Structure 1
Amino acid sequence: MLATILLGLFWGVVALVAAISVLPFSKIPHGAIRGMAFPREQLFVLTVALAAVALVFLEPDHRNPALAILAVIAAIHTGYILKFTPLWPRQSVDATEAQAADAENRVTILASNVKQSNRQYQRLIDLIRTEDPDIAAALEVDPDWVDALYDALKDQYPHWVKVPKDNSYGVVMMSKMEPSETQVRDLLVDDVPSIRTKVAMPSGRMWRLYIVHPEPPVPYHDTKGRDGEIALVGIEASKDDLPAIVTGDLNDVAWSTTTRRFQRLSGLLDPRVGRGFYNTFHAGIAVMRWPLDHLFHDAEFRLIRMSRLPNIGSDHFPILFSLALTGEAQSNSTPEQSDAEERAEVREMAAEEREKDREAIGTDWEK
């Protein structure tokens, strides 16, 4: 009797893992489906563990079909996550020593989702002072966060874009490099701002910076707001006459349908490819981490450094990127190209989302 129950439990877990593994293929824009794509690393490990159980405990009439099913599931997850390991060719090109040493055309960017209710301001302030990035972006900042950062860092950073909000979507940008033509925009959902600005290197060369923080996927709502905002930024970056960088908490993993579409639309490179996961969320739960905070860059940039930084009391780790602007496009590989049909689908989704009269997801989570 016990053996039958345990066998039923085993097959139930296998069926659940299989369902979670394949449902994201449906591309249904709903949080209950899209969120299943997040834990592919964890599902791969669980699949291997289930295969070990099958090998040790199951009789051949159950063992063989179980191993066959688990092999397919493992292959699915491997196909997604292998790209973000050193076993895969790197997408971004490493900077040469000369490019890395050229301070006139080098930029270091620190991005951090601070978690609005986190009040350990000094930990981020100390980290920014230690790393001394050229540009720092903080997300989920309310007025108290902005005041604390500005009071401590105003002498270090002469240029500020402040968008404090009490709804978990505030953003602040502090910069040593002079921004211009700065826009703060709610691209699709009211009170979900993003920043678009032109930035001048010390050499005078110009580039474009996008700082974004779309809505998270939740099991009770569709993801059209998040997906549409990410896609629209991708289309805009592809049409920009300046080399672009897009950074922030995208509330999406690097291997998802939405992020891969963003890369097709934008043509921007992901420095994680071939280098590592650099998981930034959840900072407090080691076994449940995935890459939610990103930077994508034009092929004119070369990667100098990429680092996940120490915990600042948030549920996200800050992340830092240092890049050299070369003026010559180069990559080890490029994203697939988007087509007219995909761009039309994005515009239709964005138009549908703009017509909705709703509050942004999670505006009361941090209160």
Structure 2
Amino acid sequence: MGLLRIIVNRILEDVAAALAALSLLAMLAAQGGRFSDRLDIATHFAPVFIVLAMLSALLAALTPAGRLRRVTLGMAGGAIVLSSLLILPEVFRDAGPAAEEAQGPTLKIVQLNSWSARNQTMDETAEWILAQDPDIVVLEEATRRFQRAFESRADYHRTCNPEDRCEVIIYSKVAPLSGGLEPVDAGAYFPSTRATFAAPGGDFTVIGAHYTWPIPAGPQQQQSLRLTTMAQRYDRDRLIIAGDFNSTPWSFTLRRQDEALGLSRRNKAMLSWPAMAFSRWNIHMPLPFLAIDHVYAGKDWKTVSVERGPSLGSDHFPVVVTLALAPAG
């Protein structure tokens, strides 16, 4: 029995030390995201590493007192502190003006990456979206089959860019006054579209966007530059931007974008990926761990509600935001 206890303690010590060291090194690297886009990649996984650090501390607490235990607890504590420095600003930030209750007309937006042809429940996904009775639907990776499934069930107006095969679509109940994005000589290309609508007190514009992954570093930051340049052409106070940004709010890339756009990101620390099994190995995650789908709005919009929808057939959860336009004046 004594030998078994020694073996178990050794395994616990080694596993705890390895997890703590990995978490600490990753979160130390993540702090370098302040000046390096490559190191910023580590910031996206801050929630994962804070959980691993907590787990390592728990395992270490089960081992005999000694130098290794103290070192492991110290590394775990350091990783937790560094992770918190990334996560807590998002938790406590101002998400923009809120409406105590919906007064007058509201605008309901559903944002969803429909996961292209890999979505095996396109009909059910389309039905769920329409059941929310949205005024605006922003879709990424919407295949022709998904477009047919959606359009056969409701009379919405479609705005998209045929040059990128309508990879990003804005569906709207009312016809837009205009649509499409003019060429911008800044940043890397990315799938996007724009629709402008009439409203009391002045028009408002919706931009849909889909960024590439943060790996390798560089292209996503260039896309952010391009979006920021595009957004400057429209009334910022009434502008809405929604999409799959493949970027988390604890990253310095998204923090810089938030500041550059000058809009309020209305969903706060909302984990939206993965919603179901992903990758060629059909990996299932018990909980989503990346917050990468976002909705921005200018100061003329007040937030009525922000919700995450259910797992549908995509690897993303839908984000549902209801806004109220402040009275003109």
Aligned residue number for residue 122 of structure 1: 123
- The answer to whether 1:56 aligns with 2:62 is yes
Distance 2:226 2:64 in 1: 50
- The answer to whether 1:101 aligns with 2:103 is yes
- The answer to whether 1:317 aligns with 2:321 is no
- Give, as a single letter, the amino acid of the residue that structure 1 aligns with 2:208: I
Aligned residue number for residue 170 of structure 1: 167
CA pair 186-74 structure 1, distance change in 2 beyond 3 A: farther
Aligned residue number for residue 279 of structure 2: none
- Give, as a single letter, the amino acid of the residue that structure 1 aligns with 2:148: D
- The answer to whether 1:92 aligns with 2:96 is yes
CA pair 304-208 structure 1, distance change in 2 beyond 3 A: same
Provide Cα deviations, 1:327-349, integer angstroms capped at 9, x if missing partner.
689xxxxxxxxxxxxxxxxxxxx
Distance 2:61 2:14 in 1: 16
Question: Could you tell me whether the CA contact under 8 Å between 1:164 and 1:171 is conserved in 2?
Answer: no
- Give, as a single letter, the amino acid of the residue that structure 2 aligns with 1:102: G
Alignment partner of 1:228 out of 209, 216, 222: 222
Matches within 5 A, 1:191-202: 192-201=190-199
User: What is the root-mean-square deviation in Å for CA atoms of aligned residues?
Assistant: 2.7
Question: Could you tell me whether the CA contact under 8 Å between 2:110 and 2:138 is conserved in 1?
Answer: yes
SS across alignment from 2:96: coil
CA pair 119-39 structure 1, distance change in 2 beyond 3 A: same
Matches within 5 A, 1:118-157: 118-153=119-154, 155=155, 157=156
Q: CA deviation at 1:239?
A: 5.9
Question: Could you tell me whether the CA contact under 8 Å between 1:237 and 1:266 is conserved in 2?
Answer: yes
CA pair 125-164 structure 1, distance change in 2 beyond 3 A: farther
CA pair 177-80 structure 1, distance change in 2 beyond 3 A: farther
SS across alignment from 1:57: coil
Range moving further from structure 2, 48-57 or 230-239: 230-239
Question: Could you tell me whether the CA contact under 8 Å between 1:238 and 1:265 is conserved in 2?
Answer: no
- The answer to whether 1:270 aligns with 2:265 is yes
TM-score (norm 2): 0.84
- The answer to whether 1:208 aligns with 2:214 is no
Q: CA deviation at 1:151?
A: 2.2
- Give, as a single letter, the amino acid of the residue that structure 2 aligns with 1:101: Q
Provide Cα deviations, 1:48-70, integer angstroms capped at 9, x if missing partner.
12112222214232233332222
- Give, as a single letter, the amino acid of the residue that structure 1 aligns with 2:218: K
SS across alignment from 1:152: coil
- The answer to whether 1:254 aligns with 2:260 is no
CA pair 133-79 structure 1, distance change in 2 beyond 3 A: same
Aligned residue number for residue 306 of structure 2: 306
Distance 2:11 2:310 in 1: 45
Provide Cα deviations, 1:292-323, integer angstroms capped at 9, x if missing partner.
11001112211001111122211001111011
Provide Cα deviations, 1:262-297, integer angstroms capped at 9, x if missing partner.
011111112234xxx321110022334221110011
Distance 1:60 1:90 in 2: 44
Distance 1:77 1:127 in 2: 36
CA pair 132-164 structure 1, distance change in 2 beyond 3 A: farther
Question: Could you tell me whether the CA contact under 8 Å between 1:207 and 1:244 is conserved in 2?
Answer: yes
Question: Could you tell me whether the CA contact under 8 Å between 2:29 and 2:42 is conserved in 1?
Answer: yes
Distance 1:51 1:237 in 2: 45
Q: CA deviation at 1:217?
A: 2.6
Question: Could you tell me whether the CA contact under 8 Å between 1:134 and 1:175 is conserved in 2?
Answer: yes
Aligned residue number for residue 70 of structure 1: 76
Q: CA deviation at 1:238?
A: 4.9
TM-score (norm 1): 0.76
Aligned residue number for residue 44 of structure 2: 38
CA pair 137-26 structure 1, distance change in 2 beyond 3 A: same
Provide Cα deviations, 1:113-140, integer angstroms capped at 9, x if missing partner.
1111214221222112211110111110
